[in-house]
Amino acid sequence: MPPSRRRALLVVFAVARALGACDSAPPGSDVGPPDVPERDDAGTDGDPGDVPDGDVGDADAPPLPTEEEDNDPLHGGTAQRVTAPIALTGTIGPPSAERPDLDGFLVTGAAGSLLRVEAFPTSARGLDLAVRLLRLDGDGTMLWERRADDPAVTSVRRDGFLPADGDYLVLLSDRRNFGDNPAAWFGGSRHAYQLTISLVAGPSLEAAALPFSWSGSLAPSGAIQVVRAAVPTGTRLEARWSGSNAERFAPLLTVFDPVAAEVVAERDAAGGPLVLLKLRAPAETLLLALDHTRAADSALVPVGLELRALEEGVEAEPNDEAASADECEALPCEFAGTIAAPGSTGVAGLEDRDLYRFPAARGTACVLEVVRDGGAAGALDPHVAALRPPAVAGPPRPENPLALADDSPHRGDLDARLLLVPRNDGPLLVEVRDARNVAAEREGRTPTAGGADAGYRLRLTSSAAPPVATDLGTLSGPEVRDAVAAVGGTAEGWTFDAPAGLPLALELTDLSPATDLFQPLAYLTDVDGTRVLRQLAPERGGSAAAHAFVDGPGGRLHAADRWGAGGADFAYRLGLRPLPADDAVEAGIGNDTPATAQPVSWEAGRVGVVVRGTLDRSTGTGPDALDLYRVTLAPGARLVAFTGPDADEMLDTVLRLRDPDGTLLAENDDVAGSETLFSEVAAEAGAVGAVLVEVSAWGTAPRGAYALFVGTP
């Protein structure tokens, strides 16, 4: 063979040998078992035929399991049960007009462990993942939720500290599919992902002794820390969990007892950057989950945790909000505190007010006392009030309109004393302030009272002698009572029997000397005292009138100084009388225009008429969204209209009075100072003497019954 041909064959053999050493399939695959998705094994498995490390996840390994459709439990499917740890693949399928594709996986976890979910797209086709971790009860009610949704990256991670043993639902989908806009739902057969679900048992931080402080950084996109804290049983503990940016990071703190396997306390920052939690340690070891309610940002946020033991019987600042109130676990209890100078927290002009939480039982009287503790006589003028913690975000509200006390004369060193009968079970808050700061707030002045020598002692006890109300018997005619608010913090009380639904008129008059600072306040409740129906608060030296329907088989009245003080000449007059009225019913649902308004009237010897009707806005605009009644009076006569319950229905009413031509004379949604949603209006009849009374309902698509009084009481 010629040398030139021999050289050509050698080249061909060399090329063939080189080609044989390479993958014949597309990059990222070889002749072994099917490859797992991208990022599973960092791009190499060590076979001679691998393409370079870091390509697209080439590996000779068994394929990962795949999701099992239909696994969308929110839209008729069944969540796929899995056992952690597990890695699997799936796709976010195309949405229909009725539903997106949410992939659900059910995993069993133990209380106190950490559920970790991580997922990333394995196709570059616009998939943007989000996740929800849920715990549901038997009927599908959500008991617990954690979520992650980071618009800055397409992958997602969420840690969840499990509060109880049981099943947890992992919902994974494109972030747009968790919204309610079908036009935005996203998915398709090639929108693939890889999902990893694991359970982490141990804590990530140790607090071996108190005090303890830790600072670090956390990605709000779903990572959390778990701290194991050694705390002597019974220690009064304070925990502060904070982030540096409330807009990007919303802290959430969970305290867990690993011995009892239950959550001891949980609190979020209510829109701020700090969670402050005070509690009594139930065991020697606690787990604290440093979590967050906002998980939509992958940037690191500086965070910190501080733990300290609090001194027994001494207030621990800050304690000026319901979330930071000092705790009285059981009555009796006592605290020493100080009203600091305004601005001491760094906010100019902000007064110091101290809050304490204590258990309360409906109908069981208790005494809240504040006594000056050292300091000059003028260093502190104590004021005490009882507040109900907010059910949702917002400030606490008074337990009742007279649940406060200022100076209490004739009681020696006792500066403020409130005798209280709680209207409902549940915790109450005691608020201690300087009375001069209360007055400054009322008058729009900057508070100035407080300082290092403004010390006090707060005593909370049960009362062996609850206040006794005067029984007026069956209300058959006018009742007038003259009384004196001689003792601050103890309201005078009256009870009466009356048929449910009876219309009433009330009047309160200040009889004290013009030089006194006394201002009376009275309020009417249902027979059990659980709901305030009306308040009367006349100006100094004046009178105030109000109207209401009896709620139940009678009612209760209470009266005192509105600022919680008392005096021998703090005199007032309280009047109560039933309103004789005729009865009528709504004739039909067509009374919704001036031309079709139902005429109503009353017989001589009566002062009005009670009309019972219904409203129905179940479609949003009807079929019975408005009722109109026409009343004819003498020109200039004063007409009063007010609503109340009918058949135990508490419809949220709106009342308007109009001239026959539709001109608005008066309107009201909810009566000020009432804990109901009823309305009251009054106006003078015009020259023609006719007035239209318009009843409607507030809110989205309400329906229900109402009672309406119309007359000249």
The pLDDT of residue 54 is 41
Instruction: State what percent of residues in the chain have pLDDT above 70.
Output: 90
Residue 655 contacts residue 681 (beta carbons within 8 Å): yes
677: β partners? none
Give tens-digit pLDDT for 420-440.
999 999 999 999 999 999 999
**Is residue 393 very low, low, confident or very high in pLDDT (cuts 50, 70, 90)?**
low
* C-alpha span between 598 and 594 (Å, rounded): 9
* C-alpha span between 310 and 456 (Å, rounded): 18
Give tens-digit pLDDT for 586-609.
999 899 999 999 999 999 999 999
Give tens-digit pLDDT for 330-385.
999 999 999 999 999 889 999 999 999 999 999 899 999 999 998 887 899 999 99
- Is a pLDDT exceeding 90 seen at residue 57? no
pTM of the predicted model over 0.95? no
Q: What's CA 586's distance to the chain center, in Å?
A: 38
What single-letter DSSP state applies at residue 371?
E
Strand order in the sheet with 690-697: 598-599, 626-632, 690-697, 653-658, 664-668
The pLDDT of residue 458 is 97
Peptide bond into 623 cis (omega under 30): yes
Least confident of 2-11, 169-178, 389-398: 2-11
The pLDDT of residue 295 is 66
Give the sign of the dihedral formed by CA 487, CA 570, CA 409, CA 561: positive
237: β partners? 279, 309
Give tens-digit pLDDT for 231-254.
999 999 999 999 887 777 889 999
The pLDDT of residue 203 is 87
* C-alpha span between 387 and 399 (Å, rounded): 5
The pLDDT of residue 50 is 41
Q: Which helix (H) or strand (E) holds 9?
A: helix 3-20
Please work out, in degrees rounded to the nearest 5, the angle formed at the alpha carbon of residue 286 by the alpha carbons of 263 and 335. Answer: 85
**Is residue 152 very low, low, confident or very high in pLDDT (cuts 50, 70, 90)?**
confident
For residue 617, the tally of other CB atoms under 10 A from its CB is 20
What does the H/E/C string look like for 182-250? HHHCCCCCCCEEEEEEEEECCCCEEECCCCEEEEEEECCCCCCEEEEEECCCCCEEEEEEEECCCCCCC
The pLDDT of residue 34 is 36
The pLDDT of residue 169 is 98
**Is residue 112 very low, low, confident or very high in pLDDT (cuts 50, 70, 90)?**
very high
Average pLDDT over every residue of 402-427: 80
- Beta-strand (E) ranges in 669-702? 680-684, 690-697
What is the full DSSP assignment across 101-168? Answer: --EEEEEEE-TT-EEEEEEEESS-SS--EEEEEEEE-TTS-EEEEEEE--TT-S-EEEEEE--SSEEE
The pLDDT of residue 12 is 31
* Cα–Cα distance list, 306 to 223, 244, 266 (Å): 19, 14, 16
Q: What mean pLDDT is reported for the chain?
A: 88
Least confident of 478-482, 594-598, 621-625, 704-708: 621-625
The pLDDT of residue 30 is 34
Could you give phi then psi for residue 324, rounded to 5 degrees?
Answer: -110, 10
The pLDDT of residue 289 is 97
Could you give phi then psi for residue 74, rounded to 5 degrees?
Answer: -85, -10
Give tens-digit pLDDT for 287-339.
999 999 876 677 788 999 999 999 999 999 999 999 899 999 999 999 999 99
The pLDDT of residue 32 is 33
* C-alpha span between 602 and 608 (Å, rounded): 6
- Is a pLDDT exceeding 80 seen at residue 52? no
Average pLDDT over every residue of 633-653: 92
Strand order in the sheet with 581-585: 581-585, 608-616, 703-711, 638-644, 680-684
What single-letter DSSP state applies at residue 641?
E
Average pLDDT over every residue of 598-626: 92
The pLDDT of residue 517 is 83
One-letter amino acid at 18 equals A
Average pLDDT over every residue of 50-63: 50
Residue 34: CB partners within 8 Å, gap ≥ 6?
A: 63
**CA-based R_g, the chain, Å:** 35
